[in-house]
Chains A and B, each alone.
Chain A
Amino acid sequence: DTGVSQDPRHKITKRGQNVTFRCDPISEHNRLYWYRQTLGQGPEFLTYFQNEAQLEKSRLLSDRFSAERPKGSFSTLEIQRTEQGDSAMYLCASSLGLAGNEQFFGPGTRLTVL
């Protein structure tokens, strides 16, 4: 399967713990996006990469959130000192990075913070 994959699919953690999610994009895609989706809402853009460069991160929800794409392939999203309000689905998408191109979404990682 050459689609976007995300790991883990589910994560349950206690408040205050750090969590890290991984996204593997479609191999030839140079753009990689992270979105957050809370219950009953549409996805909300967080950040994106062009190859290994993070070109937009002002939409990250707080300084507890950070993302990397060290070699321009897979990416990780880390949340430090998790809070109950961080409970959500975290979606990754990739694309060829041209205007109007389809973003292909992964299945998401569902985070539950107890």
Chain B
Amino acid sequence: AQSVTQPDIHITVSEGASLELRCNYSYGATPYLFWYVQSPGQGLQLLLKYFSGDTLVQGIKGFEAEFKRSQSSFNLRKPSVHWSDAAEYFCAVEGNAGNMLTFGGGTRLMVKP
């Protein structure tokens, strides 16, 4: 069965600093991988996804993620964080049963002024 681990429960960065959120997955085949963001009172919004091709994928709001098969990782990065990026971030892998998503536990990002 697939699983996703996000090792960092909370991360605090200063505004303007770079950001990397870690995600490790377990899946038997080539995975479809996603990063979603959830702000308070908002629904989950897709930032980016990977399913084939270039291992560096670009998303919305200046985010990117790199798929590394050898490390079973799909880390999310942003070169310069804005205060509005404070939110909870979820990594997910798509499974076989109806394309259901298996989510990690999430990483809460706080941004210091």
Point out residues on A near B: beta carbons under 8 Å.
Answer: 3-4, 31, 33, 35, 40-45, 48, 50, 55-56, 59, 91, 93, 95, 97-108
Give residues in B with beta carbon < 8 Å to A: 4, 6, 32, 34, 36, 41-46, 49, 51, 90, 92, 94, 97-106
The residue of chain A having its C-beta at the shortest distance from the C-beta of B91 within the complex is A42
Indicate whether A95 sits within 8 Å of B99 (C-beta atoms), given known contacts A100-B49, A102-B49, A105-B43: yes
**A43:B43 contact, CB within 8 angstroms:** no
Residues of A near B41 (CB, < 8 A) are 107
Report A-chain residues with C-beta under 8 Å of the C-beta of B101: 33, 35, 43, 45, 103
The residue in chain B whose Cβ has the minimal distance to the Cβ of A6 is: B43
Contact B43 A4, beta carbon cutoff 8 Å: yes
CB <8 Å contact, A41 and B44: no
Interface of A is mostly: loop
Whether B94 contacts A99 by the Cβ 8 Å rule is yes
- Across the two chains, which residue of chain B brings its CB closest to A46? B100
Across-interface contacts of A106 in B (CB, < 8 A) = 43
Given contacts A42-B90, A102-B49, contact A91 B100 (CB under 8 A): no
Complex contact B99–A43 (CB within 8 A): no
Contact yes or no, A41 B49, CB < 8 A = no
